[in-house]
């Protein structure tokens, strides 16, 4: 005997949810696989600190120094001589953009200070340092 309401001769008005669940599971797997690929940027091994995240209202300008002492401004290669022009080219309009410095922890301190000096010469008064939070096992 079939489950349902009404007389036995009329059409059943039940929804088969199995195809819906199948589609949702496929979409879930697709999003789980593609989500880690959506992050972009340079692979920099950051130092760790216990400071919290900052509130961003405008997209910041990120100056990165890789482990090979290469300088990038928002994924565009620059040198100490062209750093000021590259940062000014990334600033759009009169709004002040936040500038963050991401340096690999293997980069010598002198190189980081040279980049900070070049940014100061470019007129950047406030510079944020990007770090990673330590994992719970590290303290």
- Please determine, looking at this structure, whether the domain spanning 61-134 carries the CATH number 3.30.420.270: yes
The pTM (predicted TM-score) of the whole model is 0.56
Give the count of beta carbons closer than 10 Å to the beta carbon of residue 111.
15
* pLDDT tens, the chain, 139 aa long: 455 555 567 777 788 889 999 999 999 999 888 877 666 566 777 777 776 665 566 778 889 898 888 899 888 898 888 888 888 888 776 667 788 889 888 888 888 889 998 888 888 888 888 877 776 665 5
Residue 137: both structure tokens together: 């096992």
């Amino acid at each position: 005997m079939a489950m349902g309401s009404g007389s036995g001769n009329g059409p059943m008005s039940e929804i088969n949810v199995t195809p819906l669940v199948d589609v949702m599971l496929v979409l879930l797997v697709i999003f789980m696989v593609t989500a880690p690929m959506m992050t972009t940027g340079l692979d920099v091994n950051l130092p760790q600190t216990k400071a919290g995240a900052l509130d961003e209202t405008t997209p910041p300008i990120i100056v990165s120094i890789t482990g090979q002492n290469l300088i990038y401004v928002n994924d565009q290669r620059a040198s100490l001589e062209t750093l000021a022009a590259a940062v000014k080219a990334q600033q759009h309009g009169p709004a002040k953009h936040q500038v963050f410095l991401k340096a690999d922890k293997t980069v010598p301190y002198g190189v980081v200070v040279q980049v900070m000096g070049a940014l100061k010469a470019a007129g950047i008064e406030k510079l944020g340092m990007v770090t990673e939070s330590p994992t719970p096992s590290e303290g």
